[in-house]
Amino acid sequence: MIMVREYQKHRVEIMIHGQISKQQRSCRRRSFPTVGLSLLVTAMLLACISLPTPSSPASEPRVRATATPIIIVATPTPLPQGILDEATAEDLLLIGIYERVNPAVVNVQVIKPVAPAFSQDFFQEGEGSGFIIDKEGHIVTNNHVVEGAEAVQVTLHNGIILEAQVLGTDPHSDLAVVDVDLPPELLQPVELGDSGQLQVGQRAIAIGNPFGLEGTLTTGIISALGRTLPAESLFYIPEIIQTDAAINPGNSGGPLLDAQGRVIGVNTAIRTTTGGNTGVGFAIPVNLVKRVVPQLIAEGRHDHPWLGIKGLTITPLLVDELGLPVERGVLVSEVIADSPAEKARMRGGSRGVELRGETVRVGGDIITSIDDREIVQFEELLAYLVMEMEVGQEVTLGIVRDGEEQTVKVVLEGRP
C-alpha cells in the first residue's frame, strides 16, 4: 500500500492498492482538474516501476558491486604550543644537568676480604658510586662502599680506570673520601648546594651506577625531609632527605641533585622488601657533607659531638599513661656512664613501666630546650648537636626535673 499526502491549501489523498480504488478530492475554493490528477498519478506510478535492463549473455557471470571500504585515519589532538614548549624545556633541563654533572660521577669498585675457608683467602667484589668535589682528585662516596676494602679503583665517565686511595671514613655519617691521581684539567668537580633550603615537592635528580649500569640518571621529587637513619655505628644520622627518585644497589655514594644541578645529598639507602627500589630512597644531606668531608681529608676521621643520653619523644600517649608534667620534649630514659651528660649530673629513668607491651623507663629528666631552642622531638635535639655544634662546645639544656624547670650546662665530647 502506498499513501501519498500533500498538505498545502488543498488536500489530495490517493489510495492505491493494486489499482486505484478510490479518489478523493477536497478543496475549499476550487476543484483540481481531473486530467491533471490522472497525469500526476501516472507519473508517480512510472517513477516507482524499474525499467528492464538488457539481459547479459548466459556465459558471463553476474558481477556483484562491492562497497568501497571506508578508511578512517586517526590523528592525535594537537597540544597547545605552551605545553609543548614546557615539555621541551624540561627535557633540555635534564639533558643539560646530565651533560654537566655526569663527568663528575664515578663508578667505585672495591675488593674486600671475607672469612677464610679451607685455609685459603677469599675476596668479594663490590661497587658503588661517587662524585668528584675538587680539582685535587677528592671523591666523596659512602663509608659502607669502601669500608674494609683491600683495593679500590674508580672508573671515570670516559672509561678511564684509576687506582684510588681511601683518605678517610666516618661510620657515624656513612661518608668516605677517596683520592685519585689525575691532572686537574681532566677533573670536572660538582657544585655543592644547600640542603637547609630544601622543600618537599621540589625536583630531585640522581646520577649513579645502579646494578653496575654506569651513568644512569633518574628523576623524582623530594618526598620528605628531616628523617633519621641508623648508621653502622648504631648512632643515627639526622636531617636525612627522602626521595622517590629511583635508587638501587650501586647508587650508593652518588649525588642527589636539585634543578640547578647542585649536589643536595649523597644517596645512601633504600627501604625495600624486595631488594630493589620501591619509591623510598634516602640521601645524606649535603650540609653534613660540608662539615664532615674537610676533616676526613685533613685527618682521616671526623669527631661528632656527643651528649651521652638515650631518650624518646614525648607523645600524648606518654603524657596520659605516665602523668608527665609537660606535653612536649624528650624524656631521658638513660644516661650513659662517663658521658658528658653524666658529668653534668643529668638523670635517667629510675624505674620501668610497661606501656602497651614495651618497657619505658620513667623518672628521668625531661629536656624541653637546648640553647633557648624549643625541643619537641628527639630528632631535633640530635640534628642540632650534629649539624651545628662542635666537640668541646658547651650547651645549655632546659629540663624539667621532679616537676620543676631547671637548666643544665653540658660540655660536649666526641663520640666514643
Domains of the chain by range and CATH? 2-44 (no CATH), 102-186 (2.40.10.10), 195-292 (2.40.10.10), 305-414 (2.30.42.10)
Helix (H) or strand (E) holding 127: strand 120-132
Helix axes 286-299, 378-388, angle to 10 degrees: 40
Query: Nearest to residue 386, comparing CAs of 239, 169, 218, 250?
Result: 239
Distance of CA 94 to the CA centre of its chain: 16
Residues in CB range of 413: below 8 A, 6 or more apart:
305, 306, 308, 339, 340, 391, 392
Catalytic residue chosen out of the listed positions 173, 195, 252, 369: 252
Using the 8-state DSSP alphabet, how is residue 251 labeled? -
**For the chain, the helix, strand and coil percentages under 3-state DSSP, each to the nearest 5:** 20, 40, 40
Catalytic residue chosen out of the listed positions 129, 170, 174, 179: 174
Tell whether the torsion through CA atoms of 202, 207, 208 and 212 is positive or negative.
positive
Q: Which three cell numbers stand for residue 297?
A: 681529608
Catalytic residue chosen out of the listed positions 138, 144, 172, 302: 144
Separation CA 198–CA 97 (nearest Å) = 18
Helix (H) or strand (E) holding 45: helix 34-48
Phi, psi angle pair for 374, to nearest 5° = -65, 135
The question of whether 174 is a catalytic residue gets the answer yes
The question of whether 304 is a catalytic residue gets the answer no
First to last CA, the chain: 110
Q: What is the pLDDT of residue 390?
A: 95
Separation CA 126–CA 29 (nearest Å) = 111
- Per-residue pLDDT tens digits of the chain, which is 416 residues long: 434 444 344 443 434 344 434 344 333 444 444 444 444 444 444 444 444 544 444 455 565 666 777 777 777 777 788 777 777 888 899 999 999 999 999 999 999 876 555 445 555 678 999 999 999 999 999 999 999 899 999 999 999 999 999 999 999 999 999 999 999 999 999 999 999 999 999 999 999 999 989 999 999 999 999 999 998 888 999 999 999 999 999 999 999 999 999 999 999 998 877 766 777 999 999 999 999 999 999 999 999 999 999 999 999 988 988 889 999 999 999 999 999 999 999 999 988 888 888 888 989 999 999 999 999 999 999 999 999 999 999 999 999 999 999 999 999 999 98
The question of whether 371 is a catalytic residue gets the answer no
Strand partners, 364: none
Q: What is the pLDDT of residue 124?
A: 63
The whole-model pTM stands at 0.76
